[in-house]
Structure 1
Amino acid sequence: MPSTHIAKAPAYWSKAAIVPGIIAIGPMLPGTLAFGMAFGALCAQKNFSLAEVIVMMGTVYGGLSQFVAVQSWPSVLTPGTIATLALLTLTVNVRFMLMSATLRPWFGTLPSWQAYPSMLLVTDGGWLAAMRYRDHGGADAWFYVGGGIVLYLVWLVAAIPGFVLAEQLTDPKKYGVDLVMPAFYAAMLVPAWKGPRRAIPWVVSGIVALVVHWLAAGWWFIIAGALSGAISAGLMDEPEPRHPVGAAA
């Protein structure tokens, strides 16, 4: 049976893709802004300085992992508490390693000094937009990088008004800010849907996380959910491809 696989073009740089890339991530900007403001307010409540918040936003760029780290920030830093924060951050951010790996067939055709710095811009929303673009045959690296830079800049400045208005944001439920994170990740599942079978690890991860959250205090439910989902996905066999009746073997 002849293959229907279409080879994708290697990556290249053209300014023509910058605006389409920004338009593609446009719907994510309001959520990113609200997410960043909520993080700035959280930092103010944890007695961080504005300078510390800006440095973290500019250098860490971890989104959810920053929330987890700051929410569990201890009153006194010890080797043990630092190791715990590092483990939590690694667990939450390990998905970026997998996302970067899926971009290698595209960006791997570029020189290393161009490809690897581009991976610093990997985010959940930016990755989804880039993969959709790539699946439709796109190859211009500026589509991904241009949108990623805009997301980064919005995230960088979003914490400032949140920090300044922390007193007004002490109750996130009042403005619906507490819904931003779950709504964003729930929306991400829609384009990632590949059928009921591929959703089994999602279900396993969610159930394990809920059970651990009920049984144990702290952030262990994140680690347990991530590990159980990854293990269940790894144990699943890929279904055999179906061939049309009468097709040559």
Structure 2
Amino acid sequence: MKSMPNSQTANVRLTMAGAVRGARSLGPISLFVIPFGIAFGAAAIERGVTPDQSIVMSLSVFSAAAQFAALDFWEGPLPTISLLLTVFAVGTRLILMGATLAPWLNRLSRPKRLLALSVLSDVNFADSYDAFRRDDRDVGRLVGGGLALCICWALGTAIGVIAGASLGNLERFGIDVVMVAFFAAIAVGQWEGLQDLLPSAVAATVAVLGLTLLPPGWNIVLAAIAGGIAGLLWHGR
């Protein structure tokens, strides 16, 4: 990760206006989270999770990948250690996201920092990091976008709990393509020339190869590490 000039991290704040901007920025994308929430809610009920537990999990954990992974272990007696290790593995990418946002978040008070991190996800990380690099110093953008995503995720879960099974396979509508397109657009917007080619290629290769060879989530972690090492060696040569 490149070091940030002081001008990009000075006067960092968290305001309601920034939260509103974040919610507006990710509002349209957040709507496409609802079908994924419906799928989780329906799957949770099938696995024996109660409606209340399903909705509380979506509000408190707020991690689609980790929640779907947890369902594989949802049987009695609950294998707590295996469940925790799996959820940790899936969530390790958040460590990398937090480290990337540290130059901005570490300038906030601890309560505000924890608030921002509690709603951190792949989508609002990508949106906020891009905005921060363009001199938006209001971390409210991260919080507002995260809250919009969390609300839609919980809403989708509630719908799935009530009527998910009757809706059929939602992937037939092509909704799963929306997130891929969003991240592709963010990545293209951050492209800074041929100097980014090698790290990007290394990270993409590791991510794709690890998709079938590694447990869920680990391919993203290793791809970020491999891309970072490649970038360090390439730029430091």
Whichever residue aligns with residue 183 of structure 2, its letter is: M
Give 1:26 shift: 1.8
Residue of 162, 186, 190 corresponding to 1:191: 186
Runs of 4+ in 1 over 4 A off after TM superposition: 172-176
Shift in alpha-carbon separation, 1:33–1:223, aligned structure 2, 3 A: closer
Shift in alpha-carbon separation, 1:209–1:144, aligned structure 2, 3 A: closer
Corresponding residue of 2:226: 232
Shift in alpha-carbon separation, 1:137–1:184, aligned structure 2, 3 A: same
Give distance in 1, aligned partners of 2:172 and 2:131: 37
Give distance in 2, aligned partners of 1:5 and 1:57: 37
Give distance in 1, aligned partners of 2:55 and 2:116: 21
Instruction: For residues 160-187 of structure 1, give each alpha carbon's deviation from its aligned partner in whole angstroms, at most 9, with x where no partner exists.
Output: 11111132145444555xx52x652464
Whichever residue aligns with residue 30 of structure 2, its letter is: L
Give distance in 2, aligned partners of 1:58 and 1:175: 26
Corresponding residue of 1:246: none
Shift in alpha-carbon separation, 1:158–1:171, aligned structure 2, 3 A: closer
Give 1:143 shift: 2.0
Instruction: For residues 113-166 of structure 1, give each alpha carbon's deviation from its aligned partner in whole angstroms, at most 9, with x where no partner exists.
Output: 221222111011111111121111111222222222222222222211111113
1:159-170 map, 5 Å: 159-170=157-168
Residue range with higher mean Cα deviation, 232-241 or 160-169: 232-241
Give 1:69 shift: 1.5
Give distance in 1, aligned partners of 2:33 and 2:74: 26
Give distance in 1, aligned partners of 2:166 and 2:172: 9
Give distance in 2, aligned partners of 1:13 and 1:221: 36
Give 1:239 shift: 2.0
Matched, 1:221 2:222: no
Matched, 1:73 2:73: yes
Contact 2:48 2:74 (C-alpha < 8 Å) held by counterparts: no
Gaps of 5+ in 1: 213-219, 243-249
Residue range with higher mean Cα deviation, 53-62 or 163-172: 163-172
Give 1:51 shift: 0.9
Contact 1:204 1:232 (C-alpha < 8 Å) held by counterparts: yes
Contact 1:18 1:143 (C-alpha < 8 Å) held by counterparts: yes
Give distance in 1, aligned partners of 2:64 and 2:120: 11
Corresponding residue of 1:206: 208
Shift in alpha-carbon separation, 1:240–1:48, aligned structure 2, 3 A: closer
Give distance in 1, aligned partners of 2:224 and 2:13: 33
Q: RMSD between aligned alpha carbons?
A: 2.7
Say which structure is richer in helix.
2
Whichever residue aligns with residue 77 of structure 1, its letter is: P
Gaps of 5+ in 2: none
Larger gyration radius, structure 1 or structure 2? 1
Corresponding residue of 2:24: 23
Give 1:233 shift: 3.2
Corresponding residue of 2:155: 157
Contact 1:57 1:155 (C-alpha < 8 Å) held by counterparts: yes
Task: Determine what percentage of the aligned residue pairs are the same residue.
Answer: 22
Whichever residue aligns with residue 66 of structure 2, its letter is: S
